[in-house]
Structure 1
Amino acid sequence: MDNQIQNYKIQQPEAWAGIIEDQEIINRIKDSEFAKKQIDEGRDYCYFLDKKYYTSNTENSEYACMAYTLNEPGNLERASATDVVVEENEVYSIHRISVLRDGVLIDKIPDTKIKVLDSENQSSGGVLSSNKKINITIKDLRLYDVLIMEDSRVKAFTDRDFLRKEFSKYVWVSPDNYWAYGSFKFTMINDREQTIAYKKTFFRDENGNVLEPEISYLKKGEQFVIEKENYINPVDAGREIFPYIDFATDSNWKDLSNYIAPMYEEIFNKSSLQEFAPNLVEKLDAIANQDEKLQFAIEYVQNHIYYVFNADEMNGHKPQEPAVTYENKQGDCKAKSVLLKVILDYIGVDASVVLVNFHTDFYIKYYLPSLLNFNHVVVKVNYKGEEYFIDATIRDEFGLIENRGFIYFMHYLEIKHNQELQVRKPYKFPYYCVDEKIEFNAENTIGTLKLTTVYRGNRANAMRRYFKSTNKREIVDSWNNFLFYGLNYSSDRNGTDIRNVFKDASIDIVSDDKKQNEFTIHYQTTVENPYYTDPQKNRFLMYFDRNVVKASARDFIHKDLSFWHNFDSEKYEISLYTDQKIDTEEKYTVQESTIANPYFDYKSRKKVTKNGATVFIEYNPLVNLEIPQKDFETFRTDHHTIADSNFGLGVDIIEPGLMNRLKFSFKKKFK
């Protein structure tokens, strides 16, 4: 084997991890009644798992020693070839690879082949990474072996890791509930000069009730241990959050903000846009309108400065100087955000840089205060009495600031002195994200269908990108497929080629207003046999938009997670007209609805004539918030009301002829 010292080693564990002798390993692999029960059920079984996390001011290290069965072919396959990804300056150490076979402990390190590869996503799509993938292949593993793996990974801090030197952050998550453990042990070792706080969250009592979080502390040299025997994690994975423990250097938000603010102040104080970007200043000065000047500044940084995510640099919070970012026309989220703030300072717009984490936003309110809770930087803009957040790393977004895309997140830390963790206010759109007018006219055996749709905000940005990057035929097929179900043709002509239903369908961009951020399209087609016909030969014109029905709200079930409310505002005008008479008193044709939920308003109004009807639908949600569990069932019920034929329009055709009229009258009389 080629032992590449910089990426992996084969050696004994460090002193803090301890030494386990072969005989102790054998003694711990015993088939107890608990083990036999799991194995008899056809499950793989972990005899023991011993994990340790060691942190100091010079390194973070993780150690694991485990013994588990290879009774399932899939598990055997995964064990035979595994990948370990290590960061720059991180070393993966193998201490033991053995199998217990027929009571004999066999060393498998001589049968192990190790390759060091570049991580697949290295330097792709603006991502720069020095991560390496260590591929470990073990020969001659056999079904029903017990595999023993003992390894560790050590991340030694460099000058770039100044934040990790100063602050520790580690989240221990309770183990996967697939595995049964004869013995499970986790140890946290604090060898730092600073005290580490730890917070136990989403642990439960014997009745399954969530316990109040507990906060305790580890001083230098102290350890935290959690140990279980004959253990299966009782968490209900689909409906409960796995219990976890958050470890972080003991601090508070004010001290953390005071730690990081001077780093950014130093950059801002020595940055002069006039000096390093005179050409940009000239362009800004030439724009008289302040709204347009602000739009130009945002779009310049988003679209002209290439976003480069350097994974190695993101471990710290020291931003690149804006002069360098401007000169090189590239930078990470910190660099782009700092440049944008410097430009906004120049044009007199109040702005600040803030720390966020879109991926773990829900958990930040539970986490202990730590700068390492965050992984992204955006710009907060205060303009004309309103608060906006701009992600400088996004491309191809347009509009004056009030019309730009909305970023969904709740928690952030502003990079200023004496700050606390802040929570954003809920948001109501000042416009309709989707504003659509549908006209379907049936005459004789031909139906003419026209849709005109105006997209705004995030929807406009997304649809603009979609039309730019997608083949026109594919776009038309997508609309046709949606209409096939919306017109209920899936119920009476299922299996028909959709292109034969909508033979002359076309879709075009009507306008693209990049100031109002409005993207307008027009779709039209003709349909032979436009009516949906049920098995009793009754005919209907129908148009129901299932996008209006929020299935995620109706189906949501979770004990711990709150429902995240991020739906768009929508407005529809749906008109269905025919040269036939319709039933003007049919229940669902005339049914209207008004819903005034604390978290959304919904209104549908009808206008019915002898030959057709129009429904006007307006949906206005209060978004960027979690629906409290005490309010959720009412919220869900109100969405069920929308789903009860209040998300579109249907009209029943009264067939011509005396017998059909008598049949209709009879049906109405006895309904």
Structure 2
Amino acid sequence: MHRISLLIALLICCFYAGANAQQKNFSITPEPNWLVPYKPDLKQVPDARDVSNGYYILLFEEQQHVEQSAVYHHMIRQIVSEAGIQNGAEVTVDYDPVYEKLHFHKILIRRNGKVINQLQASKFKILQQEDDLSRFIYSGVYTAYFILEDVRKGDQIEFAYTIEGDNPIFEHKFTSLFYLAFSNPVVNFHKSIIASPNREIRFKTFNNAPMPDRQMVNGMQVYKWEMTNIPSVEMEDDIPAWFDNFPSVQATEYKSWQEVIQWGDRVNKVPPPGAALMAKIAEFKREAGNSREKYMLKAVRFVQDDIRYMGIEMGEYSHRPNTPDKILLQRFGDCKDKSLLLATILKANGIYASMAYVDTYTKGHVVNYLPAPDLFNHAIVYAKLDDKEYWIDPTISYQRGNLSMLTVPDYQQGLVIDPTGKNGFSPVTNTGKGKTIIHEHFQLPSDKKNKGSLTVTSTFTMQYADDQRDGLANSSRKDNENTFLNYYKNAYGAVTIDSPLQVTDIPDSNRIVIRESYILQSPWKSDSTKEHANNFNMKANLLRDALPDYAEEDRKVAPLELRYPFSLDYTITIEMPSTWTVDEEELHIRNEYYSVHFVPSVDGNLVTMHYTFETYQDHIPASFLNTYIKDRKKIDGFLAYNFYWDLDEGTRKDSPSKGFNWLVICLGIFFAAVFTHHALRFNKVTILPAGTYAYPPQIGGWLVLMGIGVFTSPLNIFNGLLKASIFNNSMWQQLDKATNATHNLSILQLLLVTELASQIAMLVLSLLLVSLFYKKRDTFPRAMIFFLACNLTINVLDNLACNYIFEKKGWDRENIMQIVQSFVAAAIWIPYLMMSERVKETFIMPHDKEITH
């Protein structure tokens, strides 16, 4: 009886789960009968090196019937490892039940020739995820979620479903943008669009995607793409939002942007303002008097600050705004709601205003696409007053200042929804540009017993003030104090707050001034390289953080993102215990993408380091990245500076930054003595006993070319040692500029000492080779082979160590060339020295007082 009750309860649960799914426009049905034939080759496999996440896509099939408003999806995943069981054993489908129906056709597992059917309506979880709620957007999208049971390595997971219905807001006019490659490899790919021959659909391809094949099937026009073994596509890091290197295709029925504008005009049609909105308009007019500028500013502030951002974008309201009266009544709305409300208020006082569509991702690159209304994800307002143009984003709160200080993000291009206006895009421009001005002032004590101080004054104007105002409003003063404190703790160690954070808001000029005050508990750090000397390492971290990260050397296509617009004026002043001098050069870099300037100055005991950084575009193109990498390396050398102080004498101790590092010179002499001793011992080694040789022939053939290399090698190595900065104190004192915080400084010091030893060893060995070659010694071939092998090994190990210490993702071109040259030299000359008869006949002279070996 207990089992029967349990069975009945389970049946009831399954019934209600199935009924619940049906209520959300979900059902299980056979596959549609309008599909065009397609036979994939399921025996093919991708390149194993291209497989990630433990599975690959054996089949990706998508067929879209425009007239039926339906899209059929069919996929087979091949599980190849345990990771694939974790990552590929779930099926999720998003759909909007307001206008879409989800029909599932099959969920199968194929294992060793057997087919296991897992499709059951009761096992689906229909969830309303609402991932965009964090951005205050409620879309009403549901997710059908299915977890497969008993998935094993080697299984094939096959599923198919159809989503039927389209958003009525688009008036059944076809547009689509889809990809022909993914982040996982696809073995069999099929995409087809089935439409009436009466539809005039245009296509545009991106990133070398092919145009479709066309054919007539059952009186319908079919546009088809069929491909096999499509490799995965990887996205590079730190790219601008608009960059997309995936092959894709756009399809649209719209012939011009004017058609899109006319569509937007129909969507945004609203009735005349109601009583409540008319009362608010009258209030603005009364408060502004005869000044339409004041009226406009009041309207902007009201919509930005008093109408909160919240979007209920279900069904056609994904693109259709609510009426301005409704928005005023409920006091919330999304971007299109707020934009339409503001435009309506402005028009009521004779100010030209219209909604404008922008895309926050593709930005200005939206002009490269064919006309389509679904390319945009944001709405703003374009207005004109007294022949001045204004671009206003009603979703930005806390903007202050007058109309000339209104700024918008870098949207670049906007489509103004006015059928009587321009038939196309307009540049989205700012009427004013802001700046970030930072001043860090250090006061250093004359000894370790006293503490130092740091005051930071940050001034933000225009859009930067808007951002700060918003950030301060959404976080506590205590949280901000802790965030700022931890930033300087990471840079300077023991730092404590001296006085609370001071924030001064100057709304009339749209400025915010933030003042921080800290105590440096022990600014002077002991310097182990000099007796009685201590140092303070100034770090221009705010500029370092503003610069984009290093790009990889092998980055060929992807541009590097730049924060734009951005302007930083950064001053660091250090108040020293006595008068000071700074031995630092100026730096000036400017090109069409960015500019960086550094100017040091000294006035008595006050040292000033002044930096400016400004961007002129939102990216650095791939073709310019090598230049940026070189510029960045130069800039990094100016982002820190060591100040030395002798606490016993109470004077500056910056002499180590000039002249030689005698410790390193002594090490060099020691290494030279050791290696010279071993070279002299090797010089006495002989292979052939004395008196067993004939007079050797003259140097000839390829040995002439080798001889040139042998005699020039000591000069090249010695010249490199002279030019090396390893003997200069300044280089050793600036090592911490180059290393990352994750690595100990002694690692880099050890590397440099090792490089010094290896270069001196190679110099001594090259001099020995000159002697052996000139005397045609029998040990020359062996010594030369050793030299070539060492040269290649040292180059490879040195570059590997540098890449590890500096956390480089790629190899510098110069270093690669150096390794290639040493490899080619070894590959050519080592076999020659081992097999050449001329070598065996030429180098036969033993040492006079031989040591048999």
Question: Normalised by the shorter chain, which TM-score bucket?
Answer: 0.7 to 0.9
Residues 1:195 and 1:338: Cα distance change in structure 2 (over 3 Å): same
Deviation at 1:412, TM superposition (A): 1.6
Structure with higher Rg: it is 2
| Secondary structure, counterpart of 1:616 in structure 2 | strand
Aligned with 1:353 (options 349, 352, 355): 355
Instruction: Tell me what 2:510 maps to.
Output: 517
Deviation at 1:403, TM superposition (A): 2.8
Aligned with 1:502 (options 491, 495, 503): 495
Instruction: Tell me what 2:538 maps to.
Output: 543
Instruction: Tell me what 1:496 maps to.
Output: none
Distance 2:563 2:170 in 1: 34
Residues 1:118 and 1:510: Cα distance change in structure 2 (over 3 Å): closer
Q: 1:537-590: per-residue Cα shift (whole Å, max 9, x none)?
A: 5433443332323442643746155745514212223210121454x142x3xx
Aligned with 1:422 (options 422, 425, 436): 425
| Secondary structure, counterpart of 1:142 in structure 2 | coil
Distance 1:387 1:561 in 2: 32
Mean Cα displacement is larger for which, 516-525 or 529-538? 529-538
Higher strand fraction (1 or 2): 1
Amino acid at match of 1:449: L
Distance 1:576 1:39 in 2: 54
Instruction: Tell me what 1:309 maps to.
Output: 311
Residues 1:293 and 1:503: Cα distance change in structure 2 (over 3 Å): same
Distance 1:416 1:216 in 2: 37
- Please give the residue correspondences for 1:300-449 in structure 2 after superposition, counting only pairs within 5 Å: 300-313=302-315, 317-361=319-363, 363-383=365-385, 387-417=389-419, 419-424=422-427, 430-432=433-435, 434-444=436-446, 445-449=450-454
Aligned length: 626
Deviation at 1:397, TM superposition (A): 3.3
Instruction: Tell me what 2:520 maps to.
Output: 527
Is 1:53 equivalent to 2:64 in the alignment?
yes
Instruction: Tell me what 1:232 maps to.
Output: 230
Instruction: Tell me what 1:572 maps to.
Output: 570
Aligned with 2:161 (options 122, 140, 151): 151
Aligned with 1:63 (options 47, 67, 72): 72
| Secondary structure, counterpart of 2:296 in structure 1 | helix
Distance 2:416 2:50 in 1: 53
Identity level (%): 17
Amino acid at match of 1:132: Y
| Secondary structure, counterpart of 1:503 in structure 2 | strand
Mean Cα displacement is larger for which, 596-605 or 148-157? 596-605
Is 1:653 equivalent to 2:614 in the alignment?
no
Instruction: Tell me what 2:283 maps to.
Output: 282
Instruction: Tell me what 2:150 maps to.
Output: 140
| Secondary structure, counterpart of 1:286 in structure 2 | helix
Distance 2:248 2:129 in 1: 29
* Contact 1:38–1:45 (CA under 8 A) maintained in structure 2: no
Distance 2:460 2:564 in 1: 16
Deviation at 1:227, TM superposition (A): 1.3
Distance 1:452 1:372 in 2: 45
Distance 2:603 2:429 in 1: 41
Distance 1:228 1:42 in 2: 22
Instruction: Tell me what 2:846 maps to.
Output: none
| Secondary structure, counterpart of 2:613 in structure 1 | strand
Task: Report the TM-score when normalising by structure 2.
Answer: 0.66
Aligned with 1:169 (options 161, 165, 175): 175
Amino acid at match of 1:69: Q
- Please give the residue correspondences for 1:187-226 in structure 2 after superposition, counting only pairs within 5 Å: 187-191=192-196, 193-203=198-208, 221-226=220-225
Is 1:484 equivalent to 2:485 in the alignment?
no
* Contact 1:574–1:615 (CA under 8 A) maintained in structure 2: yes
Distance 1:318 1:111 in 2: 34
Distance 1:661 1:334 in 2: 64
Question: RMSD value over aligned CA atoms?
Answer: 3.7
Q: 1:394-425: per-residue Cα shift (whole Å, max 9, x none)?
A: 33333323334431212221111263432526
Residues 1:422 and 1:111: Cα distance change in structure 2 (over 3 Å): closer
Instruction: Tell me what 1:16 maps to.
Output: 34
Amino acid at match of 2:377: N
Distance 2:609 2:577 in 1: 19
Aligned with 2:251 (options 247, 254, 269): 247
* Contact 2:177–2:250 (CA under 8 A) maintained in structure 1: yes
Mean Cα displacement is larger for which, 464-473 or 122-131? 122-131
Q: 1:258-290: per-residue Cα shift (whole Å, max 9, x none)?
A: 3433554x53xx635888332442244223565
| Secondary structure, counterpart of 1:344 in structure 2 | helix
Deviation at 1:170, TM superposition (A): 1.5
* Contact 1:602–1:620 (CA under 8 A) maintained in structure 2: yes
| Secondary structure, counterpart of 1:335 in structure 2 | helix
Distance 1:665 1:318 in 2: 67
Instruction: Tell me what 2:734 maps to.
Output: none
Amino acid at match of 1:552: P
* Contact 2:128–2:142 (CA under 8 A) maintained in structure 1: yes
Distance 1:614 1:146 in 2: 67
Aligned with 2:115 (options 100, 105, 108): 105
Deviation at 1:68, TM superposition (A): 2.6
Deviation at 1:14, TM superposition (A): 1.3
Amino acid at match of 1:653: W
Deviation at 1:639, TM superposition (A): 4.8
Residues 1:385 and 1:577: Cα distance change in structure 2 (over 3 Å): farther
- Please give the residue correspondences for 1:126-137 in structure 2 after superposition, counting only pairs within 5 Å: 126-137=136-147
Mean Cα displacement is larger for which, 505-514 or 245-254? 505-514
Residues 1:121 and 1:528: Cα distance change in structure 2 (over 3 Å): closer
Amino acid at match of 1:198: F
Amino acid at match of 1:139: E
* Contact 1:194–1:250 (CA under 8 A) maintained in structure 2: no
Deviation at 1:297, TM superposition (A): 1.2
Instruction: Tell me what 2:847 maps to.
Output: none
Residues 1:122 and 1:541: Cα distance change in structure 2 (over 3 Å): closer
| Secondary structure, counterpart of 2:288 in structure 1 | coil
- Name which structure has the greater RCO, CA cutoff 8 Å, separation 6+: 1
* Contact 2:285–2:295 (CA under 8 A) maintained in structure 1: yes
Q: 1:568-619: per-residue Cα shift (whole Å, max 9, x none)?
A: 212223210121454x142x3xx22333323444433332145231133333
Residues 1:222 and 1:431: Cα distance change in structure 2 (over 3 Å): same
Unaligned runs of 5+ in 1: 205-212, 490-500
Amino acid at match of 1:241: N
Distance 1:42 1:635 in 2: 34
| Secondary structure, counterpart of 1:555 in structure 2 | coil
Distance 1:617 1:398 in 2: 28
Deviation at 1:298, TM superposition (A): 0.8
* Contact 2:588–2:596 (CA under 8 A) maintained in structure 1: yes
Mean Cα displacement is larger for which, 627-636 or 473-482? 627-636
| Secondary structure, counterpart of 1:251 in structure 2 | coil
Distance 1:332 1:660 in 2: 61
Distance 2:34 2:164 in 1: 12
Unaligned runs of 5+ in 2: 1-13, 238-243, 662-727, 730-853
Amino acid at match of 2:26: Y
Distance 2:313 2:103 in 1: 22
| Secondary structure, counterpart of 1:320 in structure 2 | coil
Q: 1:429-473: per-residue Cα shift (whole Å, max 9, x none)?
A: 5442x1222211112332121111112233323322333333444
Task: Report the TM-score when normalising by structure 1.
Answer: 0.82
Residues 1:548 and 1:383: Cα distance change in structure 2 (over 3 Å): farther
Deviation at 1:379, TM superposition (A): 0.5
